[in-house]
Structure formats: C-alpha cells, structure tokens
Amino acid sequence: GAVVSQHPSWVICKSGTSVKIECRSLDFQATTMFWYRQFPKQSLMLMATSNEGSKATYEQGVEKDKFLINHASLTLSTLTVTSAHPEDSSFYICSASRAHGSYEQYFGPGTRLTVT
C-alpha cells in the first residue's frame, strides 16, 4: 500500500510554454501533498506544501505565480510550471501524507523536466 504515482515521468518542452505534472496517491487518501525539486547531485528541496481544498504554502524563494499547485481532491495534486525557462529544468518529485501529523511521506517516482 501507499503508492504514489507521477505523470509524466519525463517531459521536454519549449521555453515559454507551460507544463503540468500530476501526482496521485493510488491506494490512500492524501490530506497533504508536497512538491520538491532536485537538481543534479543535490538533495531534495521543498517547493510547496498543499492541503486538499486549500491554497498551497510556498517556501521562501519559490514563485507561486510560476509554480501553480492545485490539490482539488484527496488523491490528486498538480504542479504547473508556467512560462518555463531552461533554468526550470530539474527533477520534480511529489510526496503524500495520509493525514496531518503522520510520520510517513510517500514519494512519487519523479518527473524529469527539460526546457529547451
């Protein structure tokens, strides 16, 4: 149990376009979902935390108008990178928690975004 999927697993887009990444909890309801970004040879960096039905909380330095997060249901959160630029190329990983205060975050397999 506790499987998190992401779609797509990789995507290439042109500079200036937008791309949407989906994160789904397949066998549990996720009250809270997290979005991370990971650059090569670096650790995961939290971008934002989203609770179902409410606005996401963004970390300092993360532009909320550029990285749009929607958590409309207990099993789906989406991250839309708007007006993507080459510097947005990265590995994006989501995770999901069953409930507030739960120890465990279950990570998705990640999405590789390349902006040309």
Partner 1 sequence: KNQVEQSPQSLIILEGKNCTLQCNYTVSPFSNLRWYKQDTGRGPVSLTIMTFSENTKSNGRYTATLDADTKQSSLHITASQLSDSASYICVVSPYGGATNKLIFGTGTLLAVQP
Residues binding partner 1 (CB under 8 A): 4, 6, 32, 34, 42-46, 49, 57, 91, 93, 95, 97, 100-110, 112
Residue 44 or 62: which CB sits closer to partner 1? 44
Residue 17 or 57: which CB sits closer to partner 1? 57
Two tokens at 60? 């300092």
Question: Smallest distance from the beta carbon of 69 to partner 1, in angstroms?
Answer: 14
Give yes or no for a contact between 71 and 33, defined as CB atoms under 8 angstroms apart.
Answer: yes
Q: How many CB atoms lie within 10 A of CB 63?
A: 10
DSSP annotation of 55 = P
Residue 33 or 81: which CB sits closer to partner 1? 33
Question: Smallest distance from the beta carbon of 116 to partner 1, in angstroms?
Answer: 19
Q: How many CB atoms lie within 10 A of CB 39?
A: 12
